[in-house]
Structures are given as structure tokens and as C-alpha cells.
A and B are shown apart, each in its own frame.
Chain A
Amino acid sequence: MREEEGPMFETSHVLGGLLVSTPILPCAWKQCMLANSTNTAFFVQQVDDVVYVGFSAVQAMSSVAGVPDGRFFSTMPVGHGLFSPLVREEDDGEPLLFHASSLHLFMALCNSPQFQMLANEVQNKAVIFTGHSVGGSLASLAALYFLCLASYSNSLAPASLLCVTFGSPLLGNEALALAILRERWGDKFCHLVAQHDIMPRLLFCPPNSIDPQLVAHMLQSWQLAMRYPHLVKNTIMQFSDEEKEGLFQFVAMHVDKAATETHGSLYKPFGSYVMCSKEGAVYVDNSDVVLRLLYLTFAAGCGNHSVEDEHLFYGDLLLTITQQLLVKKQFFIQEEAPKSYYSAGVQQALGALGIGFQDMEAVEAQECLRISKRMWQNPNLKCANLAIKLAKVTPCRAQIEWYKASCDDDMGYYDTYKQRKASKREFKVNINRIKLAQFWNEVINMLQDNLLPSDFDKKGKWVNASQFYMLLVEPLDIAEYYKTGMHKRKGHYISHGRERRYQVFDKWWKTRNKYTVDTKRSKYAGLTQDSCFWAKVEEAREWVEEVKRGRDATGLTDLCQKLISFEFYAKELISRKEVSIDVLAPRSSYTLWNAEWNSLKAELGFKSNLDIGFL
């Protein structure tokens, strides 16, 4: 276990190098080229055990490149439907927006018979969606579509999924980036971006800020070059040096703005990026860092770059990088010897980004890498440390258990605690209760901040520990709530006082891998299996009081119905022995309620529960 003393090694360029050295990227690029050469929207091919789905940039481009009216820059909201798992009710932030042209294309594609067939072909397979340029946007949307599908039904979805795009334009706004983060899908998207490619940065410019004619011209000539890859390239695109220089500077300015100003741009990168230069590749998965690096790499070494080459020749770029990595280097990139492993690694990463150590951008790029690294602290490590902490708080739990056992036979655990006077014993229990709550709140917060492994809530250890904690301690929380009269101020516990952690634990418990037992309990459970049982008792007691006080006929029926259904529920729980023995203690709230309710029933004059109907 590494000590958490700050990052020791920089790994972004190692990951980048790893990706580039695998056959995945060249193979994906080959599929993109194949798709471009066909007349269909996408092209499916199986290579070894992996299904590649390449989306044609030529086809996609032909529908967006036509009109010189700035439409290419616009966004549109995505409603419920295809991508609904990305839209959450509790999100009160921005609505989810997509690049309009890409979304239109995808919606049309989605309804086509070929796409329906694709769904069959990728089922339960390892699938890579890929595309160059605008084709990449379609690949991303298709990948998102199947990821969303998988969250409804695993059987229809691919077994594993990866999306690789080459020089694709931006696809969505910050809400998309956040949703991807929340669903932990970031590592399923690898966006390759060449250092001076305009396309992945173009949408940072506000609509109509660039001459629409120029954009249309650029898109058209890219499309032409993709359709006829063998044409001599100089005959395709005719930019004057001035036009080019102006375009680069303009884009650079807006990328800078998008990164530095809070509302600098509608668009935001999502997923992870592989920033490629001729020197190497760097893998970054933090959207803010990506955004900043999109600017810094673009601005660094900004000399005379070809608008078309940078966007078109990703295949050659991959080859160059691989060759670069396979050649022995006899010098440090930086002149002086580095101070630490980390700073030496950062030097190498800067080199791979294509930023020289003397470039103006170097200092800020270093800072970016540092931020990105900090975000990367090992979730498994965190989880292991948490396990050690859990072991340390477990004795607190044992003390409460011990307390519970000592008061089960008279008033019962719940009522003893609720009616406690200032005593040392209960004081200690209370301290333990608070300590445990702090620990579990920390767990929940870490999970929410994506600091723990993605399968954390599926791990038996944690599901069981949290459930045991909840069954043991929540009754004390309820007792505390009603003892201090919170229900009078805020309303009843279940709907107004329940801590979020318990709701989360409930969810974990319900979705766990269940072991089905058909045996009946032979004795009362150690802990009441419904942790809110006492809160329900408290509500039922209030209903009894109301019945006694009120007696107006309309409300009465309603109250009696509620009381009967609670009675039924409680009796059922007891007969299945799913309550702890303290529920049945002679002076427990439940026993008292039961007596009151029985005499009330007699008073109201109905013998069986069926009588309620005649009231």
C-alpha cells in the first residue's frame, strides 16, 4: 500500500504509450478508413474476438458540410428516451445538450433497419465503436446508446465496450461530462486529438463568430479529402497563409477562453482524451484538465501547421508515435537532472504532449498534470484504508450490541434508550452512535465523490457491514428523534428525518446478490430486520391518539385502515420472527401500542378487522 504522500510517478504518458502500442488504435483507425470507403453510415467487422463498428466520416460530413449558416455550432437538448439514464430527476442543474447536427444524424440512423441489426450483432460481445471526425461523434452517441441500454438490461448490451474517436468535434455540454463521470463511463471513451487539429477545438468558438463561408469551405474540403484519400492534397484545400494564421489564432483564443472563463463555452469535453503529438501520447481523464491541455498543446509550437494534415492523417501519426517510443533515447529531455521521479516523469509527459520545456506553456501544463494526478488517487487504496478504519470503529458497534443485550428483557432496547436519564452508560452509547455515524457518512461522501472502486456497493463486506450497522443503530437514531421531539418540528422520521446514509444502505441491500433461504427462523432475529420498525410504531401510536381525540367519521375510517394495516404488517413480521426480542418486551412501545389498540378496537366495537368496512 503506497503511503499517501503525494504522487510519486507521473503516469499519463505511460498510459498514452500503452494505448498507442496496442493493436487497438491502429485497428480502429483501419476500420474508420474502411467505413469511409463504403457508402453506408457504418461498417461492422470482427477482428479476433472484438467487433469493430466504424462510423463513416464521409457520410456524416456530407450532411453537415453543406450549409454555410453556422448551424454546425448549435446545440440541442436531449429529451427523455434514448439517453434517459443520463438525465436524472434530482439534477436541477443545466439540461443535457448535444451537438445538434450529430444528434440529428444519430436519431435518423437509430431508426434505420441496419442499426437494429447492429444491436443484434454486438449483443454480449466485446465491441469497439470508432469513427474519424464527425464519424467519431456518431460513434460516441452509439456507444452512449448501448451503455444506456445496458443500464436497463444486461442481456441486450455488449459484454464490454470501448469508444475510440479520432479528431472528433465536441459533443456535449458540462451536464454530459458530469453524467459520464457519475455513471463511471469516462474510461470507455478515448478521444484521440492531434496537437494542432482544429476540428476537436472548433466548437469552442461561438456560433457565427467565424465566417460561415470559411467553415463550410473547410468542412467541404475535409470531406473531399476523406472521400478521395488518394487525391493530391494540395489541390483540395486552398488556404492562404494569412487565412490559416488567422484561423489558428482565433480558435486558440476561444479554447483559451473556454478553459479560463466560467461560461466560456457551451461545450465541454467528456470521457478521456489521448493527446497526441509527434513525440508521444498522453492519457488524461479529467475534463477540466483536458480542456486546459487542449489549449496549451494547441498553442505550443504553433507554427506553420497544415489545417488538413493535422485533421486527416491520424494513422500516420500513430505510426510516428510508435516508432518514437521504440527508439532508444540517449538524452534527458531536460538539461539538468530532475529533482524527483515525479518531476522527471512530468518532463517526459510534457515531451509527449509536444510541449518543449522552454515553451511558455510548459509551467501551466505541468500544473495541469499535477491536478490530474491528484484526482487519480487509487480508489482501491482508499477502500483498503477504509477497511482498516472500519475495523477500528467496529468495537463501538460491539459496545452498542452489548448495551442492547442488557436491556432487551424489560423495556427493550428502543425504549430504554429513548427514556434514558443522564447516565454514564447511555452517554457512552450515544458517543459510539455518533462515531459510527461519522464513519459511515464519510464512506457515503467518498463514494459520491468517485473516490472508491466502482463495485464498492457490490462488495459483500461493505453491504453486510452497513446493513448490520443500520439494523443496530437506526433504532437509536429514531429514539433520539422522538425523544427530542423533532417529529413535532419537522414531521415524522421516515419522511422527514431519515439520514441519507440509511437510504443508500437500503438500496445496497436490495440490490445485493441474494442468498435465498427457504428455512424459517427458529428464534427471534438478533436485530429487527426492518430498521424503521420503531418509526412506524411511533406513527401508529400517534394515530391511536388521534382516534381517541377526534372521532369524526371520515378521518376515522382512514386512521383505522392505517392502523389495521400496520397491525397486520407487525404481526406478520413477528410471526416470521423477523423482529428482535426487544420488540416484544413487556413495556416496549410496541407492546403498549398493541394493548391500546386492542382496547380501542373493543371500544369502537368491532371484533374482526373486517368490521372496518361497516364503520
Chain B
Amino acid sequence: MMPISASAAAASMDKVLLHHCVSLSMKAHHSSTSPFLLHSLSAPSPCSIFAFAGSWSADDWIDGDHAPFGASDIDSLLFPSLKNLVSDVPAAVNMPFLRSFQLILEASRLQAEVSKAVAEKKQIVFTGHSSGGAISVLAAIWLLEKHLKTDNGNHNVPFCITFGSPLIGDNLFCQALQREDWSSCFLHFVMTMDIVPRIPLAPLASLKEELQSILQFICPKSSCLSSNSFEISQLLSRFYFTVLRNALTISNHQSCLSMGCATSLLGNLSGFIKFSPYKPFGTYVFCCNNGRLVSVKNSDAILQMLFYCLREEKADDPYRSFKEHLQYESKLKSYLEVQNVVHGDYLQANELFSSEMNPDEMPLVETFLNDLDMGKDAWLHLHAAAEWEMQKFRNQKRIDANYSKIQEALNALDNYRAMCELRGLCYYDAFKLQRDTEDFNANVKRLELAGLWDEIIEMLSRFELPDRFEGRNDWVKLGTRYCLLVEPLDIANYYRHSKNEDTGPYMVKGRPRRYKFTQRWGEHAQRMPKGSSLESCFWAMVEEISADMNNKKPFVEVKERVLELEKNVSAWLDSGKLGSDVLLGGSTFVKWWMALPKQHKLSSCIARIMSRVEKSG
């Protein structure tokens, strides 16, 4: 089933749905019995809306243990996909929000109700206002992860609509959502001046008391908002400027990166100050004061807008940015009355803008800046964000152009392998011997491929390709094929030059990143744990055990590794991940087997296969 993207829903402006979501989100704050409200719709399509209540206690927004910004590693049992694939570093998330969600999951009827709705094949929508929005985000990802596990691909993709939700996850969070192609499930409505989405940009741990007063002030259950005391306006004004100043820091920091500024000062500074880790993800819809809605998907651009929209010409009304937090229901409803379509995706990576400015675009820029009431110095920063995104797509295009080149080289190596087999040799051994011109040619192919892949890996590790890249099926497949076919050649080369003797074992010291990456892509696509498909490293394991045995290590010391390897070999041979050419006479593997103690061989799990080899040999 095609995923229904949230932005598509917004574009077609399923007004009825949005009306329900925003009303329900506000109503949820007042529910005293359940942390969420459930509402079912039958038209236009059967659908269940889960609306989460926000919290107005500072303890639910920030805790001192994860100072200064309250972010910490996400629960990887609940959210196994939210991490960097290769390093396995989990995404960081606002801890109190995560805790609240975990609590709701354990203690409420959420799981039961969601399962029921899923079973009824209903479209599920999670929604929430303020910190309720943050909870709804986690709920949506939780369900997406759950769907992955059950894996019958027959689910309605849930989506999530938030109103004035604070930022919740870091860079990795945002990247993982892109990679999994989940970003399109998230739609965030933000009033241009609402301070709450920006609050996490400030180091809240040191502002907790102020935050508590602020939350009391903006809590929809209280009616403080009308009280105009001097102290309150002082407090609001101070808090507004603190958040604004921190947003400026983040905006400038981000701009330096997207503008390609290379000074090492940035790295140096991080030794002295912590920057807020939070990043926007999904689609943001800014609700402008002139009644227009502007939607943006580019994360860096959204971050810029969060700062530039918050500025004022004269900060004379300290209440404004706090009041806006409570105006979603009234304003959005009136906007939707007149609004037909959201602005086009102006800051997306399309080829609309070239690197030199196009005079035709200026009117567009003008309306855009006017709608958002942003001030004209903002546009450079927005364009830097857009340019950076576009550059990533240009890079991807260049890399895509190498796809067929890689394929051809792999075909050539496939032929090499087949030819070796005809000659009665395993290609690993033939390559290690390097006796014939074919072997030399294969080596040149190996080096060419290494160059092509290293370029990709280099770009990925510097985030110069679109986040989606590591989830792309075509590249994952090609990577897996590359890893399986070519890594044995790298291993052969390593042991041919005895590099293990001066550098260390291949697996520890010699394994290039290009294989670590491609192996992980394949594993992740199959939802296998990290390091579970090591078949491309088969030869390194054989070589290491041989080396240890040649160095007269007693068999007991290597026995465990031998058993492990034998178990793997029998599985890999069965699944075809390991070609039968490893069993060709005189191969390093067969020699390895021969050298094992007789006693052990008799009881080995591959004894049957190997005895056949021994006989034929």
C-alpha cells in the first residue's frame, strides 16, 4: 500500500481531519482520566485520532541529569532504527519526553487501542499540542518500528500532526527518519512567533525555575495569560531574549556549516560551549500572521526560520510569542477557511535556483519573506540551507553516475572468479598468488572499485549525500554484492603481503570502512543485528586461525574460534553466501582444514562436506 504522506494530506488540506486534530489536541490537555484522547472518524476514510495531552510541569521538559539540553540516547529497544547505521550510535532525544511516552506505553490503554485500530485497518493519526506533540511523534515512530517488525507490509502508514511542539530529537534522529523514509509522516504546525518550538534551543537545565513559571503562565488550564503584572512581563521578556539569543547561536552555527565555512574555530569552540543538539524533521507548516501557510521540509532551513521568524523589529510586546502558543485552534481554523493550498516547497532541493541568483526569483523570495515577516537578512541564510541541500543532491547524482561503472567492474570480477574456478582454483587463492596477468588485472579492478567506494563513504561520513542514500535499495544491493565479491580480494592482498604481521589482524586493524558500511547497509535492510553477516570476512577468519596455529598456539586456545567458524561455514555454504569454490583442492580453506587435529575433525559439523573434499582431492 502506498504511504499516504502527511504533507499530501495537508496539501489536499483535509480540513476536516485537521480541524479534528487541533480541537482534540487542545481538549486532551483537559482530560483528567487518560493521557490521550481517542476519536474515530468514518469519513472521508476510516481513521483513528490519538491526541496526547501536554505537561505543564518543568520536570517533564528538562531534567538535570542530562544537562544542559536534556538530551540523551534514545531507548534502542523501542526505537531500534533511530541510530547511525555504521557506528551504531543511537539518536539523542529529549529525555523527559521519552520518559513520559514510556510511561504512557506501560500504564495506559495506548497499546491496546492502537492494536485494535490497526486490526480494523484504520488510518492512524497521532496528534498533540505543545509537549503533547512531542509525545505523539514518539508514538508515531514507535508504531512505524512495530510495523517493520511484523513485516507483512500490509499496514496503513501512520502519520503525525503536531501543533506548537518543542523540538525533540537530534541530527541522528532526523537522519534516521530520512533514511527510513518516515519523514513524510510528520507534519508540524508552528505559529511564526510561538516560542515553545524554540525553547529546547536554550540550555534549559539552567533555566528550570523560569521555565516552570513560563509553563504555568501558558498552561491552557490556568487563566494566567490575562494577568499583566510587571514581574511577569519582565520574566517573559528575559526568557524570550534568552531563547532568541540561543536560537541565533544555533542559526549562525548551522549557517557556517551550510555555507561551507572551513575554519577550525567551530571545532575549537565546542570544547568550551555546548550547542543545542536539536534539529527539526518532517514537514513544517508555518502559520503566518497574514493568514498564509508556508510549508518547508528542509531541516536546516526550518532551523533558520525558527530563529529569523522569532525576531521582532521592536520587542515591545513580551506577551506575543507566548500568547501565540495558545492560538492554534482559533487561528488555524480561520486560516483554513480561506486557505486553499500551502505554499510550494520553496526551499526543497529542486533545480529552481542556480548558484548565481536568478532575478526572476526575487518576487518569489519577496513574498516568501513577507509572508513569514522575517526581515531581509534572513534570505541569505535560507538560501545557504537550500544550496547545501541541493549540493547533496548534485553529489548524489554524480555518485549515481558511477553505478554502472561499479556494476561493470563487478561483472569483470565475477568473470575472474568463474575463470579461476575453471582452472580449478578458488579466486581467493589465485588472487593471493598473483601469478598471471588475469590476477594483476583483477587487482587493478579491485583498486578502481576501492576508489569509487571510498569516495562514497567519505561523502557519507561528512553528511554530503542526502540522508536517504543509505536506505536506497539499489545501492544497498550493489553494496552487498561488492562486499561479498571484493572483500575476499582485499583480504587476500592483506595476507599476501603479511600485513597482519606488522599491522595486526585484518578484522581489527585492516578492514576498510567501505566494507563495514556496505555490510551494515545489507544487515539493516534485512533488519539483522549489527555484525550478523560477516561472510565476506570468512577468509580473514581462516587466515587468522592459521596464523595462530602456525605460531604454535595450542589447539585449545583457538578451538572456540574454529568451532564458531565451522558453524558459520556450514550455514553460509547452505545459503549460498559462500561459493563452493572455497572447497576447491588446495584452497587456503582446505589446507586450513587439513591442519586441524584429527580428533577434532571427526566430530566437526562440516566433517561430511570436508571428507568428500578430501576424498576427491
Contacts and interface: CB of A to CB of B under 8 A. Distances in A.
A326 B547 contact: no
Nearest to A384: B458
A344 B380 CA distance: 8
A327 B313 contact: yes
Interface stretch (A18-26, A421-429, A431-439, A484-492): A18-26
Interface string A510-528: 0000010101111101110
B272 A160 contact: yes
Given A11-B259, A515-B509, A526 B497 contact: yes
Contact of A330 (B375, B444, B450): B375
A519 B509 CA distance: 15
Interface in B392-443: 395, 434, 440, 443
Contacts of B313: 327-328, 330
Identify which of A285, A344, A391 gathers the most chain B CB atoms within 10 Å of its CB. Answer: A391
Interface in B227-263: 241, 244-246, 248-249, 252-253, 255-256, 259-263
Contact of A21 (B252, B261, B391, B499): B252
A110 interface: no
A24 B272 CA distance: 8
Contact of A272 (B261, B265, B451): B265
B498 interface: yes
B311 A338 contact: no
B269 interface: yes
B504 A517 contact: yes
B273 interface: yes
Task: Give the interface size bracket for B toward A.
Answer: 35 or more
A391 B248 contact: no
Given A14-B261, A381-B260, A394-B450, 15 more contacts: A1-B391, A1-B459, A9-B260, A11-B259, A21-B248, A21-B252, A322-B245, A332-B376, A340-B355, A341-B355, A380-B262, A402-B440, A519-B551, A520-B551, A529-B502
B83 to A, nearest CB: 24
A148 interface: no
A187 B459 contact: no
B99 interface: no
B60 interface: no
Given A14-B252, A525-B502, A331 B380 contact: no
B380 A341 contact: yes
A339 B272 contact: no
A402 B253 CA distance: 50
A15 B447 contact: no
A387 B458 contact: yes
9 contacts: A19-B269, A326-B248, A330-B376, A391-B448, A391-B455, A394-B447, A454-B264, A521-B498, A525-B497
A325 B312 CA distance: 11
Contacts of A331: 376
Contacts of B272: 24, 50, 126, 128, 160, 162
Interface in A1-41: 1-2, 5, 8-9, 11, 14-15, 17-19, 21-24
Contacts of B255: 11, 14
A209 B235 CA distance: 54
Given A24-B272, A529-B502, A187 B264 contact: yes
Contact of B312 (A322, A327, A405, A515): A327
- Secondary structure class of chain A's binding surface, majority of residues: mixed
Interface string B483-509: 000000000000011110111100001
Interface of B: 241, 244-246, 248-249, 252-253, 255-256, 259-265, 268-269, 271-273, 308, 311-315, 355-357, 359, 362, 374-377, 380, 383-384, 387, 391, 395, 434, 440, 443-444, 447-448, 450-452, 454-455, 458-459, 462, 464, 496-499, 501-504, 509, 547, 550-551
A348 interface: yes
Contacts of A376: 261-263
Q: Which 3 A-B pairs have the closest CB atoms?
A: A391-B451, A160-B271, A526-B497
Identify which of A188, A337, A341 gathers the most chain B CB atoms within 10 Å of its CB. Answer: A341
B547 A14 contact: no
B271 A159 contact: yes
A17 B376 CA distance: 17
Given A2-B391, A378-B260, A395-B447, A18 B252 contact: yes
Nearest to B434: A405
A388 interface: yes
A180 to B, nearest CB: 13
Interface in A347-381: 348, 376-381
B383 A187 contact: no
A549 interface: no
B260 A8 contact: yes
A11 B256 contact: yes
Contacts of A338: 357
A331 B244 CA distance: 21
Interface string A291-324: 0000000000000000000000000000000100
A519 B501 contact: yes
Nearest to A382: B262
Contacts of B447: 391, 394-395, 398
Identify which of B271, B272, B315 gathers the most chain A CB atoms within 10 Å of its CB. Answer: B272
Contacts of B444: 395, 398
Contact of B377 (A8, A22, A23, A329): A329
Given A18-B256, A391-B447, A402 B434 contact: yes
B498 A340 contact: no
Interface string A554-580: 000000000000000000000000000
B268 A17 contact: no
Contact of A380 (B253, B314, B443, B462): B462
Contacts of A128: 272
Nearest to A383: B458
Contact of B384 (A341, A380, A519): A341
A515 B271 CA distance: 29
B273 to A, nearest CB: 5
Contacts of A272: 265
Identify which of B268, B271, B499, B504 gathers the most chain A CB atoms within 10 Å of its CB. Answer: B271
Contacts of A379: 262
Interface in A184-239: 184, 187-188
Nearest to B240: A326
A330 B509 CA distance: 57
Identify which of A128, A326, A332, A344 gathers the most chain B CB atoms within 10 Å of its CB. Answer: A326
A146 interface: no
A394 B259 contact: no
A390 B448 CA distance: 11
A236 to B, nearest CB: 33
A18 B387 CA distance: 21
